Amino acid sequence: MDEPLLETKVVEAHEDAVRLAADLILSGELVAFPTETVYGLGGDATNPSSAAKIYSVKGRPVDNPLIVHVGSLEEACGVGVMTDLAEMLCMAFWPGPLTVVVPAREVIPREVRGGLDTVAVRCPSHPVALALISASGVPIAAPSANRSGRPSPTDASAVMEDLGGLIPLILDGGPCRVGLESTVVDATSDVPVILRHGGVTAQELRDVAGEVLTVGGEELKRRSPGTRHRHYAPSVPVFLWAGGPVDIGSLGGGMVGYVGLEEPPCGVSHAVRARDVREYARELFRSFREMERMGVSAILAQVPPKGDPMGDALFDRLFRASGGRTAG
């Protein structure tokens, strides 16, 4: 992509900066902003040209739908047909890290929807994201603010690494609280179907909705952002470790980084140990980028323990970042 370079400003997300960001969005430009999950690359969700810019800047496949961010359930009703199930889930988990897929209204162009008849909708809980939606007065289409396939950005510096020179403004709201993307649920029928694991766990969904299914079939999976293409990968290979000894030579030689809960199983150059699975999830993408900058040649990542509520989402990101490669 031969885009002309822009001057990208990183500004603290105070009231004047949010107003500037809203003006840029209304003029058809893109702005990066914080949410509780990861930083988003936002544009006017009612403007097909803004959607085209998002796909171009990210290098994102155009059949990969964008999440439309709104400020309330009432606003969601303006962009999608909110089923009884969708309303029940949104009342339980919004604002927060849950995206519902519902039949789309025509106000959202097909470019935003990846050519589908459904739309993915979320109400974030981060105050900066909500302030930006309010100031803009339009729903905001926003995938993660990184180049497609890269680890999602959880702070403003990570956005700058990937998108500096490609967008005019990054709102700096500090590090993200969750660190993994939202859970995406198909809510077009009577039973929720998890299309992507994320910040709301399967057990939390069961507590509200009872029966919960997981994705089955390519056609259903198409409805969710971030499920069918390679995602979350640093520039060096990631190897999954599920226990047992590891020959460090089998990881390709050179410096090796490690991220996980337990002591690394072999000598590594840099290790990030989380206290629990939620911290592991929150620190995963930041750790990937930190180890890249340190010049490691491979990253060893511990598989999260089975049975932890956040483990499904974390394992999903690890598996796709590694391409299924294992160590040991």
- Collect all residues with Cβ–Cβ distance below 8 Å to 124 and sequence separation of at least 6: 35, 36, 37, 69, 95, 96, 97, 130
The verdict on whether residue 69 carries a ligand-binding annotation is: yes
The verdict on whether residue 19 carries a ligand-binding annotation is: no
The verdict on whether residue 146 carries a ligand-binding annotation is: no
The verdict on whether residue 275 carries a ligand-binding annotation is: no
The verdict on whether residue 286 carries a ligand-binding annotation is: no
User: CA-CA distances (angstroms) from residue 131 to 22, 40, 197, 270?
Assistant: 9, 14, 26, 38
Listing from the earlier edge strand, what are the strands of the sheet with 238-241?
238-241, 298-302, 256-260, 270-273
Assigned token pair, 42: 């936002």
Q: Can you say whether residue 289 is alpha, beta or left, with left for phi > 0 and alpha for psi between -120 and 50 degrees?
A: alpha
Q: DSSP secondary-structure letter at 59?
A: T
The verdict on whether residue 258 carries a ligand-binding annotation is: no
Determine the Cα–Cα distance for residues 241 and 239; give it in Å rounded to an integer.
7
* Residue 218 neighbours by CB distance under 10 Å: 9
Which residue type occupies 144? Answer: S
**Residue 67 host element (H or E):** strand 67-69
Q: Read off φ and ψ for residue 270, nearest 5 degrees.
A: -150, 135
- Collect all residues with Cβ–Cβ distance below 8 Å to 14 and sequence separation of at least 6: none
The verdict on whether residue 37 carries a ligand-binding annotation is: yes
Q: Using alpha carbons only, what angle is made at residue 130 by residues 125 and 133, rounded to the nearest 5 degrees?
A: 140
The verdict on whether residue 320 carries a ligand-binding annotation is: no
The verdict on whether residue 72 carries a ligand-binding annotation is: no
The verdict on whether residue 39 carries a ligand-binding annotation is: no
Sign of the CA dihedral running 208, 212, 215, 217: negative
The verdict on whether residue 197 carries a ligand-binding annotation is: no
The verdict on whether residue 64 carries a ligand-binding annotation is: yes
Q: Can you say whether residue 304 is alpha, beta or left, with left for phi > 0 and alpha for psi between -120 and 50 degrees?
A: beta
Q: Are strands 169-172 and 31-33 parallel, antiparallel or unpaired?
A: parallel
Annotated binding site for ATP: 60, 64, 118, 144, 152, 196, 232
Annotated binding site: 37, 60, 64, 69, 118, 122, 142, 144, 152, 182, 196, 232
Annotated binding site for L-threonine: 37, 69, 122, 142, 182
